[in-house]
Amino acid sequence: MKKNKGLWIFLVCLLIGLGVGWWITRDRPDGKAVDQVALVSDDPPFFVDEDSAAPTGELVVDFADDVDPAYVASLGARLGIQFQPEGDYSDPERVLVAKVDPENEEESLAALRGDPQVEAADENFVYAIPEAAMPDLPVRDPSAARGPDTFPNDPRYGEQWHLDQIHMPDTWRAAQGDGVIVAVIDTGVTKTQDLQQTAFVPGWNFVNNSANTDDDHGHGTHVAGTIAQSTHNGVGVAGVAYHAKIMPMKVLSARGSGSVAGIAEAIRWASDHGAKVINMSLGGGMSSSVLAKAVKYAHDHGTTVVCAAGNDGRGKVSFPAANPGAIAVAATQKDETTTFYSNWGKEIDVAAPGGNTRTDPSGGVLQNTLYQGKDDYYFFMGTSMASPHAAGVAALIVSQGVTDPDAVEKVMKETSRAPRGMGDKPGDYAQHYGSGILDAQAAVKKAQLGYGGLEFGAAAGLAALLLLRLRRKNLLGSFGFFGFGGGLGALVIAGGGLFFLPQLDLAVPGMALLSHGIPAWDANLFGAASHGNLFFYSALLPVIAGALLYGFPRARGLIAGLALGVAGHLFAQAYLGTVDIKWMPFDHAWLIGNGLLATAIGYVAARK
C-alpha cells in the first residue's frame, strides 16, 4: 500500500479536479421564482435617432490588405474617384474614403463592389450615440455613503445598484481584469478625478486625426468609468474591471456622431494594437458591410467585440451590435425588467444594467465624467451604459486566460441568470434578455474553477494512468523523495493545480502565476494580448527540461511532473478551446500533437 501512496494521491487529485470542473461548467438551471415580471411592451418606439445612419455623400471602401497602392490609384483614375485615408493609420488596412460625384454615386458604388481588389464598399454612413444616453444632474444619496473600512471604500458605491445587479462585490475578490486592454470606441476618454488610478494605453483620434483622445462630449468617459473606474481608492465610485487598461478611441465628435469609415478603422486599429475587448456604445439602423468586416476582423484576431443594442424601443437591434461576431447587449433597470428604450430581437446575446431615470433620478448608471465642462458624477441611462458592464465582465473573463472571443461569449451566456421574479420564461424572453442578465461572479468562477479544475484534472489523470501502467510493468523509475516531491509539485504547477487560490481571498505572493498552469503564464508575464503564445502552448519547456536535467537521475521526477502537467493542460485546452494559439491556423492539431510529445517526454523520464 505504501508503494502506491503516490498513485492514490494522483487519483484523488484527478477526482477532485474533474469534480470541481464538472460542477462549475455544468449547465445552470433557470432560476426559480414566484411571480413573472412583465417584459417591455410593443409601444411606439422611443428615441429614434434619425441621424444615426445618415448618408454623407461619401463612400467607404475596404480594399484587400495586400492591394498595391498603384492599383488603387489606377482604379480611382478609371472611375473618376479620389481616394483618401480616413486617418494616418488607415493605409495598412486599406480602408479609404472615396469622394464621388453625387449624381454617379450608385454607379460608382456598383463598380467598386464588383472590383476583385475591393472586399467591401458602402455609403459612409454616420452612426451616433443612442439618444437615451442623456445625463441627469448629480443626485446624492447620503444614506448610501461608504466608510473607509468597507470594500470597496468608494463613498458613492452604495448608489451603484447596477454593479450589485451583476454581483460585482464578491467577484472582485477573485478577479479585477489585470492587464487586459479594453478599447472604448466612442467620443474619447478624459482622465477625470476618479480615473486617475486607472491605467491607460495610447489610442487614436479618428475625428481630428491626432493622438489627442480627450472627450469633448462626456459619453465616452462615462462608458470607460463603468469598465474600469478607479476602485477602492476612497474617491467617488467603482468600475467592473478596475485593473484593466483603457485604450481611448475617439470616433464620435462633440455632437456624438461619426462616420462608418472612422469606426471601422478604429476597430481594426484597436485589435492590431493589443485590445482584447472592444466596447462600442454607438450605432445606427443601416447595415454596413465595411463595418461588419471590421467586426469580423477583430473577432478573428482574438478581440471580443461588445456593442449596445440601441435605444429605439423596438424589435430591431442596431448595427454593429447586430453583426455576426459582436455581443449585443440589451438594457435592464433596477427591478431587472428590460427598459422601455432597449431594442430587442434575435441578435440579443445578454442583458446588463442600463438604468431608467424616468421613474427614479437615481435609477440610472452612476459614473464620473465631464458634462458641460464640469467634472462630476452623473446618472446616465441607455444601452450605452449596459454595453460597458458586459465589456468589463468580458475583461474579467479574459484575465483568467479565456481569450478566444467565442469562448468569452460562451462563458458570459452560460453563466447569465434569469431576472428576479421570473418563473417560466415567456416565448419572447430570449429576444429581450438573450441568455439572461450578466452574472460576473458566476462567469469568473466558471473561468477559474471550472476550466482550471478541468486542466488540473486532465494533468493528474494523465499522470495517474501513465504511472500505473509503468508500475504494473515494473518499469517505474525510483526518483527518491526529492524526485517524487519535485515531480508532484511540478505536475500541480504546470497543470494549474492551484486554480482555486483566487477564490480564497488570500494575499499569496505570485498568486497570478500559481493559480494558472505554466502554459498560461504568458498572459501574466507579457499581458493578455500575448496569451496563446506558440512557445508556451507547446512541449518546448518539457523538451528543454529533459535536455538539461535528464542526466541527473534524481531530477527525472521533476521532468516527468513538468511534462505531464503541461501535456494535461494542452489536452484540456484542445477540448475547451478557450485560447486562440497565435500564428497557428490549426489550434487543436497543434495542442494535441504537443501534448503527445510532452507525454512521451514524461514517460521516458518516469521509466527506469
Q: Which residues are the active-site residues?
A: 186, 219, 384
SS3 373: coil
Only one residue has cell 512557445, namely 535
Task: List Cα–Cα distances, 52 to 42, 58, 95, 105, 269, in angstroms.
Answer: 22, 16, 21, 21, 23
44 CB neighbour count, 10 Å cutoff: 7
Closest CA to 237 of 389, 356, 384, 378: 378
Q: Tally the C-alpha atoms within 13 A of residue 543's C-alpha that lie toward its C-beta.
A: 10
Whether residue 320 has a cis bond before it, omega within 30° of 0: yes
Closest CA to 134 of 216, 217, 52: 217
Distance CA 398, CA 181 (A): 10
Residue type, 407: A
Distance CA 179, CA 319 (A): 29
Work out the burial of residue 304: count CB atoms within 10 Å of its CB; fewer than 13 is exposed, 13-18 middle, 19 or more buried.
buried
Distance CA 603, CA 501 (A): 30
Q: Quick one: which H or E segment has residue 602?
A: helix 587-606
154: Cβ contacts below 8 Å, ≥ 6 apart: 146, 194, 231, 232, 233, 234, 235, 236, 237, 238
DSSP state of 43: P
